[in-house]
Amino acid sequence: MNRHTLVATIPQAFVKLDPRHLFRSPVIFVVWVGSLCTTVLSVLHPSTFAISITVWLWITVLFANYAEAVAEGRGKAQAATLRKARKETVARRLLPDGSTETVAGSGLRIGDRVIVEAGEVIPGDGDVVDGVATVDESAITGESAPVIRESGGDRCAVTGGTTVLSDRIVVQVATKPGETFLDRMISLVEGASRQKTPNEIALNILLVVLTLIFLVTVMAIQPLAAYSGREQSIIVLVALLVCLIPTTIGALLSAIGIAGMDRLVQHNVLAMSGRSVEAAGDVSTLLLDKTGTITLGNRHATEIVTVGRATNTELAHAAYLASLADGTPEGRSIVDLTRTHLSDQDAVSAERLTAEGAQFIDFSAATRMSGVDLPSGVQIRKGATTSVSQWVLEGGARVPAALQQVVDHIGQSGGTPLVVARRDGDGPTVVLGVVHLKDVVKQGMRKRFRELRAMGIRTVMITGDNPLTAAAIAKEAGVDDFLAEATPEDKMALIKKEQEGGRLVAMMGDGTNDAPALAQADVGVAMNTGTSAAKEAGNMVDLDSDPTKLIEVVAIGKQLLITRGALTTFSIANDVAKYFAIIPAMFLAVFPGLNSINVMRLHSPQSAMLSAVIFNALIIVALIPLALKGVRYRPVGAGAMLRRNLLIYGLGGVIAPFVGIKLIDLFISHLPGLG
């Protein structure tokens, strides 16, 4: 964070002195109340000690506010950059009769269709329903390279505020004005929508309980002190209370949570809630959709393989007919491939057949087939081997034995086989052959999955492909397990089964059929390239659409939990050391036996008390960088991590006050009124 931002957040520390804000942090609110009391007493009975204690108590509150303001400042700086990307646009809304009207982008509603051409800004979040174009998404992702967005498939989602660089697309709006992805991102990174997580709430309750315990303890000291003839002033009791309650973690708790969300944004991941960030730190199973997540997703038809007595022309003609209305990238690639096997006359004849009342059957996750029913009674289907084979059997025909050999060969090579079959009205049903779709595993996947395994996370690839194809891709990518021929119901069942075992599950996907699973998972990470439905269902969105980004997400989640635990340990250990500094100084004159625990040998009771209060304030500022950056996470076992943190932050929390308070005491001991 630059110096200008650090200075710019100082006024916010004073603004946050508002008791309505401080009341949300009970520990710091107690310090604020104590500061008010000592201020009044300092005015009524001024002394060097009273004024010094009062000043440093107010500084403690300001430092706590400053820690939160600095964390929020980083988010607000990012939000300001995003606001520059948000532009008020004029949209060309498509009317039912095919004409267009010009409207303001803020006037669009869900379901409206708008035309966006090269050089124009996309007016709102939605899905491409017609056309293909290159889009500049640098305002959102920070990447200067343009991306392809096209109708059909899982790369149809577009974000409002991005710019079309080439061609023309029709976008169907999927969000209301003011609720776009960019609007939500701005709100989240500046902290406006951050809610306390369950762990944070539990820790707050613990801090409140500790504060109440110390409050009762300090109140009980006065009667004992009066009985022993060493009655203490209210200022001393307030200072003692502030030094004993966990002010360090109380001051930094909010900053830790804000910084955790901010670190995710720096990795181009948008978390919809702090709960999901914490859950990511405890994830033990990761489910990944294959197409578009592990693989590049743009599968292309590379060859057609006939079965039985079918000819290349017959197979190409049937696949061409069945794919003419298929707007997915795979469908278009089949059209392009099969067109090369047909004469111009055959292609024209096929197009004429589809124009004469043909009924196209869209692909669905349930049937896992698509095709066309021609007016002549001919039915053509293409799809997964098991689904098409079942369709053939229902037609009273046999599935050729050679089909399985072709399918196995394609599957073993890592490709996806699409079986094509034809039913001639009341005539026979025949399997014509297989279209070979080739998919490519994204670069570096094996190494990244190895890192996940080292973190104790089991990876499972989910795909609609047959088991052989799935096994080949799983082996190439390096995942631990796979679920083949999966339907949305299968994905949900697998997640629930994992969760029943007490494990937290993360799901990564990009398609509409992934949405139910993303919503069920403890951590649902949607690819930014995916559909609007997937992004709405997930509780995180990866702007880079990198499936292995979960490594960073898990590391940040673990880092958030570790940082909170480490600083809590440090804060409580601090209290132990401050007890040894203050209590002997308060009662040594009355109870000489306390000299045995007066290991610090401070100058005087007043200097001891003031030194402890000053250290209490300064340690907050010293720990702000650690709260914002986070404790370094290493993929080691929980036992080793606990021992390391206890050694560094537990033992360190005990030693630091002894050293710090003694040095401060040596520095202030010459001040008048502290003798």
Binding residues for ATP: 326, 330, 363-370, 382
Distance CA 455, CA 555 (A): 9
User: What letter represents residue 533's amino acid?
Assistant: A
Planar angle of CA 654, 656, 658, nearest 5 degrees: 80
167 is catalytic: no
Distance CA 558, CA 523 (A): 14
Percent helix, strand, coil in the chain (nearest 5)? 55, 15, 30
- Least Cα distance to 191 among 52, 16, 422 occurs for 16
Distance CA 485, CA 516 (A): 17
Distance CA 649, CA 566 (A): 6
Task: Say if CB 588 and CB 595 are below 8 A apart.
Answer: yes
- The first and second tokens of residue 72, run together, are 């929020």
CA 497 from centroid of its chain's CA atoms: 23
- What element of type H or E holds 128? strand 126-136
User: What letter represents residue 51's amino acid?
Assistant: I
- The first and second tokens of residue 95, run together, are 């009317």
Report the 10 Å Cβ neighbour count for 432: 25
Per DSSP bridges, beta strands 163-164 and 126-136 are antiparallel
Beta bridge partners of 461: 288, 482
Report the 10 Å Cβ neighbour count for 538: 29
Q: Specify binding-site residues.
A: 326, 330, 363-370, 382, 510, 514
User: What letter represents residue 47's amino acid?
Assistant: S
- What element of type H or E holds 135? strand 126-136
Residue among 127, 262, 289, 546 flagged as catalytic: 289
- The first and second tokens of residue 203, run together, are 């820790």
Residue 553 has, within 13 A of its CA and on its CB side, a CA count of: 34
Task: Say if CB 610 and CB 586 are below 8 A apart.
Answer: no
Beta bridge partners of 416: 437
- What element of type H or E holds 116? strand 113-117
- Identify the three-state secondary structure at position 544: coil
- The first and second tokens of residue 313, run together, are 């022309």
Planar angle of CA 563, 525, 506, nearest 5 degrees: 70
Residues annotated catalytic, as ranges = 289
